[in-house]
Amino acid sequence: MQFETTDQLIQFLDDEGVRFHKVGVFDIDGVFRGKYLDRDKFESSLRKGFGFCDVVLGWDSHDQLYDNATVSGWHTGYRDAPAKLDLGTVRKLPFEDDTVLVLGHFAGDYEGVCPRRLLHRCVDKAAAMGFGVRAALEYEFFVFQESPESVRSKGFRGLTPLTPGMFGYSMLRSGVHAELYHELLETMDAFECPIEGLHTETGPGVIEAALHHDEARAAADKAALFKTYAKVLCQRMGLMATFMAKWSNEYPGQSGHIHISLEDPKTGDNLFTGADDGTPELMRWFIGGQVTLMPQLLAMVCSTVNAYRRLVPGMWAPTHANWGVENRTTAIRAIPGGKGSRSEYRVAPADANPYLALGAALASGLWGIENHIEPPAAIEGSAYDDPGADAVPLPGTLSEATRLFKGSKVARDLFGDAFVDHFAATREWEDRQARKHVSDWDLARYFEII
């Protein structure tokens, strides 16, 4: 639902008898943080904005305080950061009768590090260049017959998947568990996050959902909400979903592929449309920018330590910055011809923050257009066997990716020093937490033998 004025929304609340109001923002990791507000506070927040404790930008996904950030910390007193609500994001919440949800974003001095506002600035740049942007995200996620309590009691080992075995596109599995599939489809449709395609993927209990394409800002909102409320739905049904990039050594990782096209804002025509057997100049430049900047911006897309466990040969994820036409072994898959022409940013994992990943994919493509960047030769056949003579290997760790990102002049030009410095600090923290941890692999590898 979209409302042009606060008064229109207030009238809607009265007409519908809405009694409960939720507001939320997405943090640097893409985690949804929010609260209930009473009617008076909600109306005031709509009209004037509201304060949201800046600790949301000063802690990690486990609420551990960063010791290396300047945006938020003990030195700020964890004051309230100004936040604004977006009237274009009003939704009635599934599972909660008489409840509306409105998304917000950080403003004022904090706007430069807000993930949602970063994407908005990228879309504004596209508009200034004469382009509209459409996008769609698709997610793979594993579902388990577990609960938040049971996975912890088991140490996240020996979990029971929803279904056994490797059975992609299975009509048997989706038929047996039709209630879950129907609930996902109906819930997300009612939540204005419609699913275009839903099917089993290869692996025990893994599902893939492709969301409908939309204007880029709306597409990111829908992707971020989908990840949160797919988990809510599963837990309400006695199940548990994970969007972790790679949860098991035995199975491929989970992707969060990003599809982007540019359009004529007046006619809505797809500007990537060309001959069925080729890509038009604008699309080539866009892909050229994506390929060229991918190593420098990868930390924004693969932003967890775990995400790099997915980027290995033969696991349906890329290992080099390259591209190909209808090639699912490359980092960028060009899908040319017709109204559906688009770039598919296949390096993205399911655990990515949708705002940052889409922002990186879009900003790099626009940079390619601005600078007329021709991509290297398209890869034919397996990019694992031949990644391309000029293909740059992708960073193999979050630490390496963060170092490239922090030192990238282009990243600073595209996103600003405030964001680059803050985000790099959060990723350095994330890497440091991982390096302090003694894993099962460490123990099995070194405990007795060394």
Residue 449 lies in a domain: no
Which two three-digit tokens encode residue 424?
A: 């790099």
Which two three-digit tokens encode residue 295?
A: 């190593």
Same domain, yes or no: 205 and 91? no
CA–CA dist 51, 57 (Å, integer): 13
Residue 444 lies in a domain: no
Last residue of a domain, one of 73, 91, 113: 113
Residue 261 lies in a domain: yes
CB atoms near residue 438 (< 10 Å): 9
Mean pLDDT over 232-252 rounds to 96
What is the DSSP-derived secondary structure letter of residue 365? H
Same domain, yes or no: 263 and 211? yes
Same domain, yes or no: 42 and 160? no
pTM, entire model: 0.97
Residue 41 lies in a domain: yes
Of 188, 21, 77, 135, the residue nearest 365 (C-alpha):
135
Helix residue ranges, H only, 237-280: none
Same domain, yes or no: 107 and 129? no
Q: What percent of the chain has pLDDT over 70?
A: 99
The string of DSSP letters for 91-129 reads EEPTTSTTEEEEEEEE-GGGGGG-HHHHHHHHHHHHHHT
- Phi and psi for 350 in degrees, rounded to 5? -70, -25
Same domain, yes or no: 15 and 159? no
Measured N-to-C along each axis, helices 216-236 and 354-370 cross at an angle, to the nearest 10 degrees, of 160
Residue 325 lies in a domain: yes
Residue 342 lies in a domain: yes
Residue 1 lies in a domain: no
Same domain, yes or no: 137 and 107? no
Q: Give the count of domains, the chain.
A: 2
Chain segment 151-198, per-residue pLDDT in tens: 999 999 999 999 999 999 999 999 999 999 999 999 999 999 999 999
CA-CA distances (angstroms) from residue 379 to 280, 293, 326, 372? Answer: 17, 18, 10, 20
Same domain, yes or no: 197 and 50? no
| pLDDT for residue 338 | 85
Last residue of a domain, one of 113, 148, 174: 113
Which two three-digit tokens encode residue 428?
A: 């350095």
| pLDDT for residue 274 | 74
CB atoms near residue 5 (< 10 Å): 10
What does the mean pLDDT of the chain come to?
96
CATH of the domain at 108: 3.10.20.70
Least confident among 47-56, 75-84, 275-284, 363-372: 275-284
CATH of the domain at 407: 3.30.590.10
Same domain, yes or no: 262 and 383? yes
Same domain, yes or no: 222 and 348? yes
Cβ contacts of 392 within 8 Å, gap of 6 or more = 294, 295, 320, 321
Chain segment 309-348, per-residue pLDDT in tens: 999 887 889 999 999 999 999 999 999 978 999 999 999 9
Confidence of residue 59 (pLDDT cuts 50, 70, 90): very high
| pLDDT for residue 275 | 57
Helix H or strand E segment including 334 = strand 332-335
- Phi and psi for 182 in degrees, rounded to 5? -65, -40
Last residue of a domain, one of 79, 113, 147: 113
- The amino acid occupying position 431 is D
Same domain, yes or no: 273 and 305? yes
Taken as a whole, the chain contains a residue count of 450
Same domain, yes or no: 91 and 214? no
Confidence of residue 297 (pLDDT cuts 50, 70, 90): very high
Which two three-digit tokens encode residue 280?
A: 């038009």
Asked whether residue 277 carries a pLDDT value surpassing 60, the answer given is no
* 186: containing domain: 123-437
Of 122, 188, 127, 178, the residue nearest 362 (C-alpha):
122
Asked whether residue 276 carries a pLDDT value surpassing 90, the answer given is no
CA–CA dist 278, 341 (Å, integer): 11
| pLDDT for residue 5 | 96
Same domain, yes or no: 94 and 149? no
What is the DSSP-derived secondary structure letter of residue 34? E
Asked whether residue 93 carries a pLDDT value surpassing 80, the answer given is yes
Residue 447 lies in a domain: no
